[in-house]
Chains A and B, each alone.
Chain A
Amino acid sequence: MVDPANRVRIEPLALQGYAITARPKERALDLRKVLEFRLPPPCALISHDVVTVMGVAPSRWFILGTTLPERSALQEACGDRALVSAIESVWQYYALRGAAAPEVLASLVAIDLAPDAFGSTACAITAAGPYDLLVWRLRGEEAGFGIGVARSLSRDFHVWLEEAVHFRSDRGGRRGGR
């Protein structure tokens, strides 16, 4: 039997989201008046209350959260230096939680998920077979990850993810030698 604490769970995340794409010469975009914190560099994220801001590429950020400022407010703050576009329908978001969640995710993506390599301030857009994934570590959770997958592919991806979870749930957590 698998310790329930080890069982990996997939939970849908209802998140709003915006993409901010700055014009080439506007990398030092400052949105602190609206977001109350600075924009992180690529592959890094900053979490603040219910808002998470991720640097997903040079001059490109995702803002995810359950409650977000109006897009128009963000666009106004950005002026003509950046385009704010809604992405809540671009991605389908999931939380992957449980002691073996890193193992499950390691069966899908190639990134190093060790806490010191992919810590609480890390995020990545990476490939998992035919899927492009947005991956980040959930705030305050060592074995909890946020996953975003293109909405149009989310149904098949969810089946795949459930299968990967099922494999690990059969076997529990860490493996050792005899």
Chain B
Amino acid sequence: MNAFRLPNGGRIDRTVPLRFRFDGRHYQGFQGDTLASALLANGVRLVGRSFKYHRPRGFLTADDSEPNGLAEIGIGARREPNIKMPECELADGLIASSQNRLGSLRHDLLAFNGLAAPILGAGFYYKTFMWPSSFWERLYEPVIRRAAGLGRAATAPDPDVYEKATLHCDALIIGCGPAGLAAAIDAVAAGARVLACERDFETGGSWLSHPDRAAELADLQHRAVALVDAGSLTILTRTHVLGAHDGGIYSAVEKIVSDGQGPSPRQRLLRIVAGRAILATGAREQPLVFRNNDRPGIMLAGAVRTYIDRFAVRPGTRAAIYTDQPDIALTVEALKRGGIDLACIVDARDAADPPVGADGVMVVRGCIADTRGGEQLKSVTVRGADGTSRRLDCDLLIMAGRSLPERSLYRAGPGGTAMVAVGGAAQSDGAAPDWPIDTIDAKAFVDFQNDVTAADIRAAANEGFSHPEHLKRYTTLGMATDQGRTSSANGLALLSKRAGRSQGTLQPTQARWPAVPVAIGALAGHHREAAFRPLRRTPTDQWAEQRGAAFTNTGLWRRASYFPRGSETGWLESAVREARAVREGVGFCDVSTLGKYELFGPDAGTLLDRVYANMFSSLAVGKARYGIMLREDGIAYDDGTTARLAEHHYVMTTSSAMAESVGRNLEYCRQILWPELDVVIVPVTEQWAQVAIAGPQSRALLQQIVDDPSSTAGDVFPHMSARNLTVLGGTEARLFRLSFSGEMAFELAVPGQQGNRLAAELEALGGTPYGLEALNILRLEKGHVTGAEIDGRNTAFDLGLGKMLSKKKDFIGRRMAERPALNESARPRLVGLRSLRPDVPMTAGAQLVVADDVGRPQGWVSSIAYSPAVADWIGIGLLEHGPERHGEELVAWNGLQGEKVAVVVVDPIFYDPAGERARG
């Protein structure tokens, strides 16, 4: 039933009915309606409860500045709160519900808050609930949050998807009302690439509810659409510009599907790069402030015109107009078209002539003193200039106040001032309002959404909060989702009066980005789940996946953790088997995640000498060397091996974790610290699939895939050698003889695309694949350090690598590393640890304490593993005076789990301390 729908007129399509639900009841609207217009057409006036006092509220506006008509749209995971109903495009099946109530909208149990209004004014919260302090979190805050607030956010994950996009244009037109459309057409004619954004679902702005301008609007729209069809103009409707940023960048959000409806993506966050922006956002009408000015049925004049002429809805049956403007003809004419009886015009101005358009209507000079009504306005009390009062029955009170340019985007970011305003947005700020500005009534609402009253403004001024920013924070004026679009100007006017300042001297508060609320999903855009944190896959990932590997994520990399076999019951069993295979035969492991950089040029060795603590310029061609880097403060930074492939050509490897950091640091050194060095750095991590082939049978396996087996013979390719060669029948490769496992080992690098093939070949030829778990066992048995030990706290001295620090050259961190404090034997230094309880592991991260003295940890366990070579759990860690305490018994204390494991301090090298196996 559309009891308040006009039989003719409007821009709705009566041939397309749309069914929707509000608070559980079914209604019908038409294509072209908003939720607000459809509810009004169905006679629904009470649409919300106020924020603090739970007063009944109806629609004040017909646009995105609506402070009262907020609803939750959608249900379940798609429920979105605080949608302004006047800008919610009606869609078939839309489900909406009112918010901020306990019980039904008509019988809100929290309405008793209104009775306490005299003591709930501004500042109440700051001065109350102070005692006892423990009650704040347990009682006060939960109760206040329940009693005051907005809608409920969905608690389930948002099922919709969103995206982001960047658009470029010469001219960005913000607003597609008549001024915006004209500006867009002119800009296109001038040869500009133009993007126009309109928050509404239809272009036309104020002329959409201006029958006299219908023909002109149609012409403008026709010309604009022709330009769109020609590809010269892009118009984005349902698009809010959110802010103006540095460098001609603007943000906007485009609603692609209606609220709570349909397929994805739901919204798109736009980053607009514009040569110039034109602000065509029009002007906003301001309410008048008087006692009980917030009842359902009290509306702005522009809203009334919009509901009548755009949506063919009668917002009331008998109206009064309260104005401080000289011309109300448009509104009076609209009321006639809507068949609404105009009972009276109340003219607040001190002017001799009645306002234009008042002909034939009773005009009272004075003001509205009060209103009556509950769910619906019933009457107003008019106080004449002569002091007489009379009550007037009406169900619609129209506030025809001043219109102010909508320029909040000017204040919504550093780029705002670069915009050029046109149309209503370009008009002057105007004079002070003419309604009785000395009102101090506690029921005269200034900020409808936050329930800020004239009395609150007075209280703030009396407290000394006479700056607009202070006023905002003390009273919450303008802090609501509308950012004060219908309240800031009136608040400033009242404050000016109270503070004795002349009108216009107080500036509005800083507008905040985003100018309108934005779904969190739109801010995230693509960046969710895998796209938020994509995985890097190694060159053998596909093979490992087919092989049934168990994976683990290390940083961004997905790496094979172990390769289970049918009868194995857990990771440890698989890892131990893989480690044994390396010790007894041959295994291979993907180490492609190591950072790889090529350094090329006559000064490559010099650069390496400066970034590494040990010498590299003296490295022979065809040789590789382990190196350690320090930070400028002398702390160990990263380690790795570097090979010299030619006189001016080195290949550096870094740890996986520090690959990007080291790369950036190398470029910083080359470009900023030593630009005179003749060297270039080429990152090649992605290019190479690098596989460690380790074990006593590693050479035999290797020689089955290299094209020239003799090139890998022990006498021509000894430990710490490097060379280019070909494998697998002509594939370019690099071979390094390095060992991280303690066994004779090689690292073979082939182009990444060949990684899966290489792994498959190695396994087919008898190699045992091993993953990170076995890699960790093998390196711990040898006492090799990794990121768990080079953790940003330890020096090379602490890690037993002090002898690598060259005395013959300068390098980054040298001076600081020489500080006595970094070379004291008392520092935590690397030790090996063995559990004294068979088969009971210590915990990595556990503190090392003497007996039960947990109050004074003397070190920590950095890494642990079960060692098949030792046949027990082993670990390494850092311990004060560590190397001097071998044989001492300590406790590895895991305070988080309350575990204590007795350990003995030992040498960190558990396996082949002489290193004979690695040298082959």
Contact = CB atoms under 8 A, between A and B. Distances in A.
A157 B689 CA distance: 20
A85 B531 contact: no
Interface stretch (B52-60, B432-440, B675-683): B675-683
A109 B166 contact: yes
B753 interface: yes
Contacts of B535: 153, 155-156
A151 B678 CA distance: 30
A129 B229 contact: no
Given A151-B686, A152-B536, A167-B265, A85 B228 contact: no
A150 interface: yes
B686 A89 contact: yes
Contacts of A82: 600, 680
Contacts of B176: 177
Interface in B704-732: 732
Contact of B166 (A88, A106, A159): A106
A90 B689 CA distance: 10
Contacts of A59: 680
Contact of B752 (A103, A109, A112, A151): A151
Contacts of B641: none
Given A21-B600, A89-B687, A89-B751, A131 B193 contact: no
Contacts of A2: none
Contacts of A85: 598, 682, 684, 687
Given A107-B164, A131-B534, A177-B198, A90 B686 contact: yes
A130 B680 contact: no
B774 to A, nearest CB: 22
Contact of B168 (A71, A117, A131, A178): A117
B202 A152 contact: no
Nearest to B531: A160
Contacts, number: 148
B648 A130 contact: no
Interface stretch (B232-240, B764-772, B865-873, B875-883): B232-240
A153 B539 CA distance: 11
B535 to A, nearest CB: 6
A58 B55 CA distance: 67
A10 B176 CA distance: 36
A11 interface: no
Interface string A60-97: 00000000000100000000101101111111000000
Contacts of A19: 682
B17 to A, nearest CB: 19
Interface in B155-207: 161, 163-168, 176, 193, 196, 198, 201-203
Contacts of A159: 530-531
Contacts of B678: 23-25
Interface in A119-178: 129-131, 150-153, 155-157, 159-160, 163-164, 167, 170-171, 174-178
Interface string B201-240: 1110000000000000000010011001101001111000
A159 B528 CA distance: 12
B273 interface: yes
B648 A129 contact: no
Nearest to B197: A177
A145 to B, nearest CB: 14
Contacts of A108: 526
A110 B201 contact: no
Given A129-B527, A130-B533, A156-B535, A23 B600 contact: yes
B699 interface: no
A114 interface: yes
A167 B648 contact: no
A150 B536 CA distance: 9
A165 to B, nearest CB: 11
Most buried by A among B225, B536, B539, B602: B536
A44 interface: no
Interface string B877-920: 00000000000000000000000000000000000000000000
A22 interface: yes
Most buried by B among A82, A111, A114, A151: A151
Given A24-B678, A110-B166, A164-B163, A178 B203 contact: yes
B214 to A, nearest CB: 16
Contacts of A90: 684, 686-687, 752
Interface in A11-32: 19, 21-25
B537 interface: yes
Given A90-B687, A176-B235, A177-B235, A114 B224 contact: no
Nearest to A159: B530
B688 interface: yes
Given A23-B679, A89-B687, A178-B202, A156 B531 contact: yes
Contacts of B687: 85-90
Interface residues of A, number: 51
Nearest to A89: B752
Contacts of B265: 167
A107 B165 CA distance: 4
A9 B602 CA distance: 47
B648 A80 contact: yes
B264 A167 contact: yes
Contacts of A117: 168
Contacts of B256: 171
Contacts of B168: 112-114, 117
Contacts of A157: 534
Given A23-B600, A86-B732, A178 B201 contact: yes
Contacts of B166: 106-107, 109-111
Contact of A21 (B163, B235, B682): B682
B649 interface: yes
A19 B686 CA distance: 13
A156 B235 contact: no
B538 interface: yes
A91 B685 CA distance: 11
A44 B678 CA distance: 25
A152 B203 contact: no
A153 B686 CA distance: 10
A150 B531 contact: no
Given A110-B166, A151-B539, A130 B598 contact: no
Nearest to A87: B687
B534 A153 contact: yes
A130 B163 contact: no
B472 to A, nearest CB: 35
A100 B649 CA distance: 45
Contact of B539 (A80, A89, A129, A156): A89
B534 A130 contact: yes
Contacts of B264: 167
B271 interface: yes
Nearest to B688: A89
B193 A114 contact: yes
23 contacts: A21-B680, A71-B732, A80-B602, A88-B753, A89-B754, A90-B684, A90-B687, A107-B166, A110-B271, A129-B526, A130-B533, A131-B534, A155-B535, A155-B537, A156-B531, A156-B535, A167-B265, A175-B234, A176-B225, A176-B234, A177-B196, A177-B202, A177-B225
Given A130-B527, A153-B535, 19 more contacts: A19-B682, A21-B600, A23-B600, A83-B598, A85-B687, A89-B689, A107-B164, A111-B166, A114-B168, A129-B526, A153-B537, A155-B535, A163-B161, A167-B163, A170-B263, A175-B234, A177-B202, A177-B228, A178-B237
Interface of A: 19, 21-25, 59, 71, 80, 82-83, 85-91, 103, 106-114, 117, 129-131, 150-153, 155-157, 159-160, 163-164, 167, 170-171, 174-178
Closest 6 CB pairs of A and B: A89-B752, A177-B235, A156-B534, A152-B536, A83-B600, A112-B168
